[in-house]
């Protein structure tokens, strides 16, 4: 069964990645190349572009993911990725066919201040083609609590079925399964052993606007300053027809003809994070990407339109320091779900897989938030052929543990 686009999104946006290896052995390119339009010029040269980081950007992260693409329009030998003049990794491009676009990626540990990322290609004819991007690492503006949380709380929401689906809110297939599996993981020893009474799970008919509001404003108000809070949402998000700046998470009983009175407004999520949740450490995971508009005829899975929900979610970290917001895709993308990912969304499938052990890159027995995000970011990008890019933003403790690695699991 082919993967289908799903209006889902996860939270934060500071691209944090661990595990950058200083490998100097050329490797064959493993990512699937994309066919390019034919260029009928005998003098056509290879083209190189750094997709991430954006040139001139700043970050507070010590490590980032570097993503580039190479348009192969002539025979090539190798590609190199460099940081501040030092080679991070080399790839063998000798077997790559002309007329294809090849994505490459690796991690880079940034120095304080200005950094330059270079991607350089050596052609078989002997000349080189290169692209550069400058990124500046700045000191964090805020400090956040570290140490072991006293208590752990979670609100987990997944909505596949909608009361008013016949009026423009299409049902999803696996959002409820994502939520149930995520809640089960949190309660497991690997996931931190969250106490059952401190995990509020709302699925399908249980996820009404009243219950979602109560979970975020009342239930999580019990969390104290040193506690850890996790909020997970899988479902639809949409703008109000006629007022596209008014964004909503669509609860089970959201009425597309009256979103203002029946759906959960994004500014209420902001209020909950700022005024009602006291905990210093809050992780929001949102898989609520939308496309088009409610009642637009194209539904919410149309391939057009900007994902304003993701853009709004990414700003939630500004409510307070210690907030990490992870979204399943970037602002102009949709999330995907399918049976090939165990009847889950692709994001949640790889998030849970990584948390169960494989994301523990330093093999110290714990999976930190940075390790988890690094794992899911790379796996989702590869699984969707660079069609979906999870993101993370916030000022938080990068060593915050999210899972304990299963003994003996690699």
Residue 336 is predicted with a pLDDT of 81
Instruction: Give the relative orientation of helices 346-355 and 175-187 as an angle to the nearest 10 degrees.
Output: 10
CA dist., res. 192 & res. 188, Å (int): 6
SS3 content of the chain, % helix, strand, coil (to 5): 20, 30, 45
Domain hosting 217: range is: 4-12+143-404
The listed range with the strongest mean pLDDT (7-11, 280-284, 386-390) is 280-284
Q: Is the pLDDT of residue 337 over 60?
A: yes
Boundary (domain end) residue, out of 137, 168, 195 = 137
* Same domain, yes or no: 261 and 173: yes
Strands 63-72 and 47-52: antiparallel
- Please, which pLDDT band fits residue 135 given cuts at 50, 70 and 90? very high
CA dist., res. 188 & res. 274, Å (int): 29
* Same domain, yes or no: 64 and 8: no
Of residues 45, 225, 247, 240, the one with CA closest to residue 128? 45
Buried b (16+ CB within 10 A) or exposed e, 347-371: bbbbbbbbbbbbbbbeeeebbbbbb
The helix (run of H) or strand (run of E) holding residue 116 is strand 113-123
Residue 66 is predicted with a pLDDT of 85
What residue has token string 């390119």? 29
Instruction: Output the six-digit token pair for 344.
Output: 């889950």
Boundary (domain end) residue, out of 72, 105, 137 = 137
Residue 75 is predicted with a pLDDT of 92
Tens of pLDDT, residues 226-263: 899 999 999 988 787 878 778 888 999 999 889 999 99
Q: Taking a C-beta distance cutoff of 8 angstroms, is the pair 124, 76 a contact?
A: yes
Please report whether residue 204 resides in a domain. Answer: yes
% of the chain residues with pLDDT over 90? 40
CA dist., res. 219 & res. 223, Å (int): 8
CA dist., res. 19 & res. 359, Å (int): 10
* Same domain, yes or no: 132 and 159: no
When pLDDT is averaged across residues 194-221 and rounded to a whole number, the result is 96
Of residues 389, 287, 325, 359, the one with CA closest to residue 54? 389
- Please, which pLDDT band fits residue 386 given cuts at 50, 70 and 90? confident
Residue 331 is predicted with a pLDDT of 66
Please report whether residue 307 resides in a domain. Answer: yes
- Please, which pLDDT band fits residue 15 given cuts at 50, 70 and 90? very low
* Same domain, yes or no: 198 and 341: yes
* Same domain, yes or no: 77 and 158: no
When pLDDT is averaged across residues 290-297 and rounded to a whole number, the result is 32
Boundary (domain end) residue, out of 106, 137, 168 = 137
Please report whether residue 112 resides in a domain. Answer: yes
CA dist., res. 199 & res. 155, Å (int): 6
* Same domain, yes or no: 132 and 192: no
% of the chain residues with pLDDT over 70? 77
Residue 38 is predicted with a pLDDT of 47
Number of domains in the chain: 2
* Same domain, yes or no: 118 and 193: no
* Same domain, yes or no: 111 and 257: no
C-alpha distances in angstroms, 58 versus 39, 222, 373? 36, 36, 19
* Same domain, yes or no: 159 and 224: yes
CATH for 342? 3.40.50.1460
CATH for 95? 2.60.40.10
Structural Rg of the chain based on CA atoms: 22
Of residues 137, 138, 135, 90, the one with CA closest to residue 116? 135
CA dist., res. 346 & res. 356, Å (int): 16
Of residues 291, 150, 318, the one with CA closest to residue 224? 150
Tens of pLDDT, residues 140-184: 654 445 566 679 999 999 999 999 988 878 888 899 999 999 999
CA dist., res. 148 & res. 59, Å (int): 26
Q: Is the pLDDT of residue 40 over 50?
A: no
Helices vs strands, H then E, count in the chain: 7, 24
- Please, which pLDDT band fits residue 289 given cuts at 50, 70 and 90? low
What residue has token string 């909020």? 231
C-alpha distances in angstroms, 375 versus 132, 235, 304, 350? 25, 23, 28, 8
What residue has token string 């995907």? 336
Q: Is the pLDDT of residue 87 over 70?
A: yes
* Same domain, yes or no: 162 and 209: yes
Please report whether residue 325 resides in a domain. Answer: yes
DSSP 383: H
């Amino acid at each position: 069964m082919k993967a289908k686009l799903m209006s889902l999104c996860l939270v934060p946006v500071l691209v944090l990645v661990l595990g950058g290896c200083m490998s100097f052995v050329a490797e064959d390119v493993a990512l699937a190349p994309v066919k390019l339009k034919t260029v009928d010029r005998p003098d056509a040269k290879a083209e190189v572009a750094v997709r991430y980081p954006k040139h001139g950007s700043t970050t507070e992260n010590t490590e980032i993911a570097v993503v580039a693409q190479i348009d192969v329009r002539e025979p090539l030998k190798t590609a190199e990725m460099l940081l501040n003049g030092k080679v991070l990794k080399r790839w063998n491009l000798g077997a790559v066919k002309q007329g294809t676009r090849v994505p490459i990626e690796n991690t880079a540990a940034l120095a304080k201040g200005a950094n330059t990322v270079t991607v350089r290609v050596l052609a078989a004819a002997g000349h080189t083609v290169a692209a550069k991007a400058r990124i500046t690492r700045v000191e964090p503006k805020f400090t956040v609590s570290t140490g072991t949380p006293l208590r752990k709380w979670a609100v987990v929401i997944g909505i596949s079925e909608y009361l008013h689906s016949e009026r423009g809110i299409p049902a999803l297939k696996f959002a409820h399964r994502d939520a149930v599996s995520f809640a089960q993981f949190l309660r497991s020893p690997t996931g931190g052993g969250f106490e059952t009474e401190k995990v509020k799970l709302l699925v399908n008919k249980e996820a009404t606007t009243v219950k979602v509001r109560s979970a975020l404003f009342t239930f999580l108000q019990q969390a104290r300053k040193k506690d850890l809070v996790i909020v997970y949402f899988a479902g639809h998000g949409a703008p109000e027809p006629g007022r596209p700046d008014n964004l909503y998470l669509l609860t089970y009983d959201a009425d597309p003809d009256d979103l203002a009175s029946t759906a959960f407004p994004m500014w209420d999520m902001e209020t909950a994070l700022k005024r009602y949740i006291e905990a210093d450490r809050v992780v929001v995971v949102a898989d609520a990407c939308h496309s088009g508009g409610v009642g637009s005829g194209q539904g919410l899975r149309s391939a057009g339109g900007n994902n304003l929900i993701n853009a709004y979610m990414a700003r939630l970290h500004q409510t307070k320091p210690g907030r990490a917001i992870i979204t399943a895709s970037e602002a102009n993308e949709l999330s995907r779900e399918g049976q090939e990912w165990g009847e889950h969304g692709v994001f949640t499938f790889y998030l849970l897989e990584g948390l169960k052990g494989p994301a523990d890159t330093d093999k110290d027995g714990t999976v930190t938030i940075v390790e988890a995000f690094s794992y899911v970011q790379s796996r989702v990008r590869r699984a969707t052929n660079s069609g979906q890019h999870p993101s993370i933003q916030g000022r938080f403790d990068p060593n915050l543990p999210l899972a304990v690695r299963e003994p003996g699991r690699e």
